[in-house]
Amino acid sequence: MVLNLDLINKLLRGDKRTCARMITKIENNEKEAEDILKGIYEHTGNAHIIGITGPPGGGKSTLTYRLSKELSNQGKKVGIIAIDPTSPFTGGSILGDRIRMNKLATDPNVFIRSMGTRGHLGGLSKATHGGIKVFDAYGCDYIFVETVGVGQSEVDIVKTADTVVMVMVPGLGDDIQAIKAGIMEIADIFAINKSDLEGSERTTREIRMMVEMGNEEKKPPILNVIANQNEGIRELIEEIHKHKEYLISTGKLEEKRLERIRSEIITLIEDEIKSRIFNDKDVYKLLDNVLKDVYNKELDPYTAKDKLFKAII
Amino acid sequence: MVLNLDLINKLLRGDKRTCARMITKIENNEKEAEDILKGIYEHTGNAHIIGITGPPGGGKSTLTYRLSKELSNQGKKVGIIAIDPTSPFTGGSILGDRIRMNKLATDPNVFIRSMGTRGHLGGLSKATHGGIKVFDAYGCDYIFVETVGVGQSEVDIVKTADTVVMVMVPGLGDDIQAIKAGIMEIADIFAINKSDLEGSERTTREIRMMVEMGNEEKKPPILNVIANQNEGIRELIEEIHKHKEYLISTGKLEEKRLERIRSEIITLIEDEIKSRIFNDKDVYKLLDNVLKDVYNKELDPYTAKDKLFKAII
């Protein structure tokens, strides 16, 4: 625990290397990770957590890059958790984006951490929640969580942000009706990126119609941006701030954060149960024993589950 | 149980409506679902389960559509489980693809089921495993599981297929090196779709190099296809058959299926534990009680988890 206290103090003093080491420990689900997170928890809650999401190819990384640069220029400290959207497969320009993002790495006010969607022993959600807390205690004013808008686990993660920016692009066409319900549910702000492209007006109009027809208490604002030309970035930051003020003044920030804590605790419990069960040698042996029976149709997987469940409890 | 036996017999006789009703029950995680799955299990294991995956925009739906049509023309029964890649967001041509896919709905030999990635009470993985079993008992010779190549849960699902077809498109450029490891791990066959596009030769060459440098026992074959012109479809089916023969002759089919059963049973146990805990009123009350303390920093989420865990066990 001495080591941890030392580490924690270093983090609170803003030591970048300590920040990196802690997140690595969390990603690797090391034993120490939980003690660290317990220790830093009381120093969290100051950062504004912003989810950046939307369909592939929308320029989310570029937008995150521009937002971070602008905030850094204003003297703010920024953390970015990029949940690698395309591992194990990747499309077009992703690597290019990553290279561009890496330019930020030399900015002392910005800390970037890319997390793959695979290979997290304790689950991506747990790693992301942990990473956010480290950035928060480290003193970040803003934490961006960037994730592609597909994948069950990925959507669940971004939903827990204070403010969710949905990045859209021109050319969604008629499909917009089909996606109405899902999007309205989680978007706090719409940013229509690549607004210099053909079809941008139509997309804006369609999203506006969709927003107006919704019965949300607060209609999400719609902004036109061109991230790679740095256009509309300040306005977007302005809207992000307004959204935070709205959350505070209505008491919704507390509501949202309580919901985030609930979801995090549930994840932690599930994880604890999983690791206890599947690290238990007897359970593993029993599982191995029933596998062949299930394969040979002498047992079905559901009865096998019941059997194992009884043995566990 | 009488109702279930009746339902099961109808399914085994090839009643399409019963097949649909059963999958709905499974998707909704209805109580009956598990009894049905127990009942049909001994009638499963005959279908060849094929995962179709790859980066967004690769034309996976079109390819699945063409493969299914060809197999149906050969008198085979085909089931398709499309794991909606883009809900709650969607990009470009997805709806168009869906409409094209729906043309198959009039084909008596083909059964399509689209599952959203959200809103499955028992989890997407459980619903997909269940759907596959229903299709299998219903008499499908081939079952396609189509999923976008992103998202932790989604990749975990496709991995469990007998044969995984990785759909690539020209224009991946230099990024191919970056994705090497992840792809090699799960691809049994590479299908380079849209092979009439510029850059197709380069992409083929790069994938070939990647495959040759890998140390896999069996090098995945690489095929050039143009799904929307129906080119290369028969050849791809041929390769899918060859892969199945390879699995059988080397004993790897048993290995793969044992692994699938293991992963399924683990999912079922996790799910059972989750539902028992989170349907327990006392646990929920306790969770509600600690939430405020965590929010007020009087307790951290990890100690809260420990507290709840003790109460559960």
- Comparing alpha-carbon positions, the chain B residue that sits nearest to A257 is B295
CB A41 within 8 A of CB B297: yes
CB spacing of A178 vs B38 below 8 angstroms: no
Q: Which one is predicted more confidently, B82 or B190?
A: B190
CB B114 within 8 A of CB B84: yes
CB spacing of B95 vs A152 below 8 angstroms: no
- Comparing alpha-carbon positions, the chain A residue that sits nearest to B259 is A291
Mean of the per-residue pLDDT values of chain A: 83
- Cα→Cα distances B23→B33, B37, B125, B161, Å: 8, 10, 13, 19
Q: Which residue, among B239, B257, B243, has the nearest Cα to B163 in the 3D structure?
A: B243
b/e string for A276-294 if b means 16 or more Cβ within 10 A?
ebeeeeebeebbeebbeeb
Say what the pLDDT of residue A278 is: 72
Report for A148-162, A231-245, A265-279, B116-130: range of highest mean pLDDT: A231-245
Residue A32 CB neighbour total at 10 angstroms: 15
**Long-range interactions of A242-249: CB distance < 8 A, separation 24+:** A243/A162, A243/A163, A243/A188, A243/A189, A244/A48, A244/A162, A244/A163, A246/A218, A247/A162, A247/A163
Say what the pLDDT of residue A57 is: 66
β-bridge pairing B48-53 and B142-147:
parallel
Quick check: helix, strand or coil at residue A218?
A: coil
- Comparing alpha-carbon positions, the chain A residue that sits nearest to B167 is A89
Min mean pLDDT across A284-298, B115-129, B288-302 is at B115-129
| A45 interaction partners in chain B (CB closer than 8 Å) | 297
Interface of A with B in 52-91 (CB under 8 A): 53-57, 85-91
Average of per-residue pLDDT across A256-285: 83
Mutate to test the interface with A, among B89, B192, B197, B303 (most CBs of A within 10 A): B89
Confidence at A2, pLDDT banded by 50, 70, 90: low
Say what the pLDDT of residue B60 is: 84
Interface of A with B in 237-296 (CB under 8 A): 254, 257-258, 261-262, 264-266, 268-270, 272-274, 277-278, 287, 290-292, 294-295
Structure tokens at B246: 């390879």
- How many angstroms separate the CA of residue B82 from the nearest CA in chain A? 14
Q: What secondary structure letter does DSSP report for B226?
A: B
Average of per-residue pLDDT across B50-67: 84
Among B42, B292, B301, whose Cβ lies nearest the Cβ of A265?
A: B301
pLDDT tens-digit series, residues B64-80:
989 999 999 999 999 99
Min mean pLDDT across A25-34, A169-178, A269-278, A295-304 is at A169-178
CB B148 within 8 A of CB A155: no
| A31 interaction partners in chain B (CB closer than 8 Å) | none
pLDDT tens-digit series, residues A41-93:
999 999 999 999 876 667 888 899 899 999 999 999 999 998 755 443 333 33
Report for A26-30, A289-293, B208-212, B233-237: range of highest mean pLDDT: B233-237
Confidence at A120, pLDDT banded by 50, 70, 90: very low
| A257 interaction partners in chain B (CB closer than 8 Å) | 295
CB spacing of B87 vs A309 below 8 angstroms: no
Say what the pLDDT of residue B98 is: 53
CB spacing of B150 vs A153 below 8 angstroms: no
Say yes or no to pLDDT of A127 above 90: no
CB spacing of A166 vs B89 below 8 angstroms: yes
CB spacing of A295 vs B179 below 8 angstroms: no
pLDDT tens-digit series, residues B299-312:
999 999 988 888 77
CB spacing of B301 vs A264 below 8 angstroms: yes
The yes/no answer to whether this complex scores an ipTM above 0.85 is no
Mutate to test the interface with A, among B152, B158, B165, B292 (most CBs of A within 10 A): B152
- How many angstroms separate the CA of residue B175 from the nearest CA in chain A? 6
Structure tokens at B181: 């490891």
Query: Chain B contact for A20, CB < 8 A?
Result: no
CATH class, range B44-249: alpha beta
Among B55, B151, B287, whose Cβ lies nearest the Cβ of A117?
A: B151
Confidence at A8, pLDDT banded by 50, 70, 90: very high
Say what the pLDDT of residue B175 is: 46
Say yes or no to pLDDT of B253 above 90: yes
Average of per-residue pLDDT across B53-72: 86
For chain B, the structural domain boundaries read 44-249, 280-312
Ramachandran bin of B129, using left for φ above 0, alpha for ψ from -120 to 50, beta for the remaining angles: alpha
- How many angstroms separate the CA of residue B210 from the nearest CA in chain A? 14
- How many angstroms separate the CA of residue A226 from the nearest CA in chain B? 19
| A87 interaction partners in chain B (CB closer than 8 Å) | 179, 182
Report for A27-31, A248-252, B123-127: range of highest mean pLDDT: A248-252
- How many angstroms separate the CA of residue B231 from the nearest CA in chain A? 23
| B137 interaction partners in chain A (CB closer than 8 Å) | none
Average of per-residue pLDDT across B173-198: 70
Contacts of A310 (CB under 8 A, 6+ apart): none
pLDDT tens-digit series, residues A208-233:
888 888 777 789 999 999 998 999 99
Say yes or no to pLDDT of A310 above 50: yes
Contacts of B213 (CB under 8 A, 6+ apart): none
| A278 interaction partners in chain B (CB closer than 8 Å) | 266
Average of per-residue pLDDT across B289-297: 92
Say what the pLDDT of residue A142 is: 98
Mean of the per-residue pLDDT values of chain B: 83
| B100 interaction partners in chain A (CB closer than 8 Å) | none
- How many angstroms separate the CA of residue A205 from the nearest CA in chain B? 17
CB spacing of B56 vs A56 below 8 angstroms: yes
Mutate to test the interface with A, among B302, B308, B309, B313 (most CBs of A within 10 A): B302
- How many angstroms separate the CA of residue A144 from the nearest CA in chain B? 19
With the CA atoms of B116, B121, B124 and B129 taken in that order, what torsion angle do they form, in degrees rounded to the nearest 10? -120
Q: Which one is predicted more confidently, B277 or A113?
A: A113
Q: Which one is predicted more confidently, B300 or A103?
A: B300
CB spacing of B182 vs A118 below 8 angstroms: yes
CB A172 within 8 A of CB B75: no
The partner residues of A145 in beta bridges, in order of sequence, read: A51, A81
| A266 interaction partners in chain B (CB closer than 8 Å) | 278, 287
- Cα→Cα distances B140→A259, A309, B5, B79, B144, Å: 43, 32, 20, 6, 10
Task: Specify burial of residue A7 (Cβ count, 10 A radius: 0-12, 13-18, 19+).
Answer: buried
CATH of region A42-250, choose from 3.40.50.2000, 3.40.50.300, 3.90.420.10, 1.10.1040.10? 3.40.50.300
- Phi first, then psi: what are they for B188, rounded to 5°? -100, -30
Say yes or no to pLDDT of B178 above 80: no
A-B CB pairs within 8 A amount to 229
Say yes or no to pLDDT of B202 above 60: yes
Say yes or no to pLDDT of B180 above 60: no
- How many angstroms separate the CA of residue B240 from the nearest CA in chain A? 21
